[in-house]
Structures are given as C-alpha cells and as structure tokens.
Structure 1
Amino acid sequence: MKNLFLFSLILFFATSCISNKRITYLQNLPGNDPIDLEEFIPFAEYEKNYILQPFDVVDIDFASADEELTKAFEFQGSRNMRMGMGGMMGGGDMFFLTGYAIDSEGYVELPRLGKIKIGGLNEEQAKTKVQEAINTYFKDDVYVRLRIGGIRFTALGEFSSSGTKTILKHRATIFDALAMSGESNILAKKNKLFLIRQYDGGTKIHQINLNDRALLASPYFFIQNNDILYLEPMNIRQFGRADNLSSSLGLILSVTSSLLVLFALLRGNL
C-alpha cells in the first residue's frame, strides 16, 4: 500500500506541476538569437494601414466654415448623439450606433452622396474618396474625417475575461489585447496562441509564441481590427484544476484513498 501511495503522489506532481518556462512571457528561447535588456528592437514590417472590409463600421464626419452646408450630408442628430454618448458608453459602441456600415459589396451609403465604395481601401484612401464625392457639391472647402471605431478584437479560450473587446487606439499590441482580456489563464498554452486574422477576401490562422522574446520583432506583435485570439488549455486540465494546487491535491488524495481502501478489501478477501 505504501508503494501505491508513493506512486500516486509521484504521478500527481509529475502531471500537475507547471514549469515556469511554460508560463513566463518574453523569454530568450533556445535556437533564437538572444535579445538583451536595453537592446533596441525595430518593429517588423506589417500592414500599418488597416484595409476596410465588408460589415466594418466607420465614423464619417464633415466640417466647414459654414456648418449649415454639411448638415444635409449627415443623419439627423448623429453629431449631437456622438457628443452625448461619448462619456456614457464604453468601448466603441457609439460608433456602431452613429457610424456607417459597409455592406457586403464594400459600399457605404451616405445621405445625398449615395453609395461610395470604400471596401478594400485603407482609411486615408477611403477618406479621399468621400472627399472627392462631396467636393462635387461645394466650391467652399469641406473637411472630411473618416475613421474606424477603435480596434475590435475577440478573445476566446483560456482568458480571464473572454468576449469581444474594443481598444480605442489606432495601434495596439498583442499585450494590450491580453491585458484587456484579463491576461491569460495559467493553464493556457502560451506557446500556441492562435491569431485568426481577416484579409481582403479571406482569413488566415497564425500561431504566436508568447514565451518568445522574438515576438517583439514579429509582424503579429500589433493586432488589427477584427482579430480573433484563441488560447488552448494545457492537457493538465484533465487532472483537475491544476492552477489551484489545494483542490488538485484534494482530488488526487481522495482518489488515492479510495484505491487504497479498495485494495485492502480485495486483499482481505483473498
């Protein structure tokens, strides 16, 4: 019985202890050139200008020296609604209610200007296209502002707070997203974060290693609008809540005690 108990304890600690190397961010991993502290790390080449896609929501606003000129090109009360909701609603919800949705063919419909195709363009290109459309109406200068409502992403799997989030920035890192999602659970496979990213006409799945310091120079260090982050659980979850040592120990001791009692009964009947 003593040997069985020792074997059970060894099995428990072998399966429930998690190495720090599996949960520590930004390590110098073997096989990579080490990155020292204070070392300058240039950003990798990545698509800095997000490409607008069908079903995105954009905020489009007009300004002119004569404010009366632009009122006909806005939904009634939308500007006042944005100002009133700015301090009341979190995230980018106000953009969903007051912005303009891009349809499945990439068009956005504006009052009087009609449908303008901006899908497949970045923000600056889309702004120029709307500017050209409104310039046909006025000789006076009318300024167009076009922007997406922050960076929306979805966190799934081993996060403390999963769901769809919005970062009100034009640029955000993968760690901004992790922090907003409650960081990752200790049981997450930090070396296998799946980033599902939408591109013009399709989707790709990228795998990211959060343990690797080389991530700082990766093109996936910055997240983009509509990214999906998915963290798998470690296999150790099969043996109970390994992030809570006391509960896991209670579970394994309970099972071990039952096995010892069963072993004693069987041995006594022989």
Structure 2
Amino acid sequence: MKSTAYFFLILILLSSCISNKRITYLQNLPGNEEIGLDEFIPYANVDYKYILQAFDIVDIDFASSDSELTEAFEFQGSRNMRGGGIMGGAGGGGDMFFFTGYTIDEQGFIELPKLGKIKIASLTEEEAKDKVQVAINEYFKEDVFVKLRVAGIRYTTLGEFGSSGTKVILRNRATIFDALAASGESNILAKRNRLFIIRQYDGGTKIHQINLHDRALLASPYFFIQNNDILYLEPMKIRQLGNSDNLASGLQLFGTFLASGLLIFGLLRGNF
C-alpha cells in the first residue's frame, strides 16, 4: 500500500513538471539546418517596405536656415514635449507622438499648418516624405528640408505575455525578442512554438505562425516586427488549472499535503 502511494506521488510530481525543451528559446530542432554558435546568419531577404495606413502616426520635422519658417510648422508646446518629460514616458510604454505627431485620418490624409491636407496613406515613408517636400517647396522660396518617419513601432500583445496591451518601441527596427522583452517576456505556460503574428498589409491582413524554440527564426522574414503587428501567444492545456504563479503554488501546496499525509500514514502503519 505504501509503495503504491509513493508511486502515485512521484507520478503526480513528474506530470506537473514542464520540460526545458518547451520553454527554451532558439534551439537546434531536428530536421532543420544546424546553426552553431558564432555562425553568421544573414537576415531574410524580404522585399517589403512598410506602407502607411489610416490611423498611423507620423513624425515630421522641418529644418531651414531661417528658424522663423520652421516655427510656422510647430504646434505650441510640441518642442517642450519632445525634449521634456513625455519622452521618458514614451520609453516606458507611453506615446509622446500621439501629442506631437500627425495622425493619418480615415481617408488617408494628414493636415499640416500652412500646407493643408496631404494624402500619404498607401505610400512608403520615403514616398510620403517626397510628397510633403514637394508641397512645401511650392509654398516657400527658401529651402526648407523635410524629415518624415513612422513615430515608433506600435504593436499589441495578447495571450500568455507578462504584460498584455499596446506597446511602443521608439526605434526604426525591432526584433520579436525586443517585443517580448518590452512585454515582460512570456510566462512558463505559453506555447512558445505557437506565436501568431497578425500583420497588416496594404488592403488586408495575414496571420503568420512562428516558433520561438527554433534558431531558424533568426533568418525568418518575421524576425523583425512591424508597425501595427498583433502578437498572440497560445497557452498550454495545463493553463486551465490557473495562471503560472497560482499553478506552481497550488502544486507545491498539494505536494506538501500529500507528502505529509503519506508520512503520517506510514508512521501509523508502522505502529500497528
């Protein structure tokens, strides 16, 4: 009887463990070409440039030898917000460009002081910059130079992330691991081999699946995230028992009670 109880105790403890293979990133998986340490891995050759879409926010700067010209394109207080406290908030998950940038409306237009409405949706950053540059050249005889870029990379995390919600990375390029780090990484109950990227394209959306276990991800076209990506990380089936913290605490408590009960049972059996 005692040996049977101990057998079931060991079986329960083993079944509650999660293999390292299910939580380790960038493994050399069977069937894939071996990628060793210190090996150079070229990025995927993806012939794709981000296309501006409605509701994107773009950051536009103007430069000229005549400061009075550029002041005509700055909203009151925007310079202070760029260089002041809101910048720190943006790095921590805030969004300073919501206040200082230009939002593309539903029809694809931005509205600039003096220049009026300019349609830049369905264009690349470079094409949009050139279009704004042409408009400003028609307005001023003096040289005024334009810099236009997407105001950070916005993405949304759902599912088994440490922190779900919309995030902003103030960089021109960010990897899937940058996104994981900014989102509190994934918890122990996440299916790291089933991370879905819902990506917007010009005129539609596609769903892509990636495997965080696989080193081949480094050469994947989905290694870099893009603006407006939605990342969904599936939970393991054991997630039905609760979140990772509650599950670990529950198993530990259950194991303690079971071990104590078996010990008492064994002592009582030995006295009779």
Q: Identify the TM-score tier after normalising by the shorter chain.
A: 0.7 to 0.9
Q: Aligned partners of 1:94, 1:108: CA distance in 2, in Å?
A: 18
Contact kept? 1:242, 1:248, Cα under 8 Å: no
* CA 1:47–1:103: 2 relative to 1, 3 Å: farther
Q: Is residue 43–residue 217 contact of structure 1 (8 Å, CA) maintained in 2?
A: yes
Structure 2: unaligned runs, 5 residues or longer? 262-272
State the partner residue of 1:56: 56
Task: Classify 1:78/1:87 alpha carbon distance in 2 versus 1 (closer, same or farther; 3 Å).
Answer: closer
CA 1:253–1:86: 2 relative to 1, 3 Å: closer
1:194/1:65 CA distance change after superposition, 3 Å: same
How far 1:13 moved relative to its partner? 3.3
Change (3 A) 1:56 1:10: same
Q: Distance in 1 between matches of 2:86 and 2:143?
A: 27
How far apart are the structure 1 equivalents of 2:11 and 2:242? 13
Listed as ranges, the matches of 1:153-192 within 5 Å are 153-192=155-194
> Following the alignment from structure 2 to structure 1, what is the Cα–Cα distance between the partners of residues 243 and 100?
44
Mapping 1:114-133, distance limit 5 Å? 114-133=116-135
Residues 169 and 47 (structure 1 numbering): CA distance in 2 closer, same or farther, change over 3 Å?
A: farther
1:206-260 C-alpha deviation (Å, 9 max, x unpaired) = 11100000000000000111111111111122345666645314236768999xx
Whole-Å separation in 2 of the counterparts to 1:40 and 1:55: 38
RMSD over equivalenced CA pairs, Å: 2.5
2:270 corresponds in structure 1 to none
Separation (CA, whole Å) in 2 of partners of 1:57 and 1:106: 11
Question: Residue 33 of structure 1 aligns to which amino acid in structure 2?
Answer: E
| 1:153–1:90 CA distance, 2 compared to 1 (3 A) | same
Give distance in 2, aligned partners of 1:247 and 1:217.
Answer: 40
Q: Which one is further off, 77-86 or 173-182?
A: 77-86
Tell me how far apart the structure 1 counterparts of residues 219 and 19 of structure 2 sit (CA, whole Å): 25
Counterparts of residues 60-209 of structure 1 (less than 5 Å): 60-85=60-85, 87-91=87-91, 93-209=95-211
TM-score for the superposition, normalised by structure 1: 0.86
Work out the CA distance in 2 between the residues paired with 1:120 and 1:53: 6
Deviation at 1:193, TM superposition (A): 0.7
Deviations 1:171-212 (A, max 9, x none): 111011111111110110000011111111111111110000
* 2:62–2:145 contact (8 Å) kept in structure 1: yes
Provide the residue aligned with 2:212 in structure 1.
Answer: 210
1:250 aligns with 2:242: no
How many aligned residue pairs are there? 258
Q: Partner of 1:82: helix, strand, or coil?
A: helix
Q: Relative to 1, partners in 2 of residues 1:172 and 1:44: Cα closer, same or farther, differing over 3 Å? A: same
Q: Which TM-score applies when normalising by structure 2?
A: 0.85
5+ residue gaps, structure 1, are 259-270
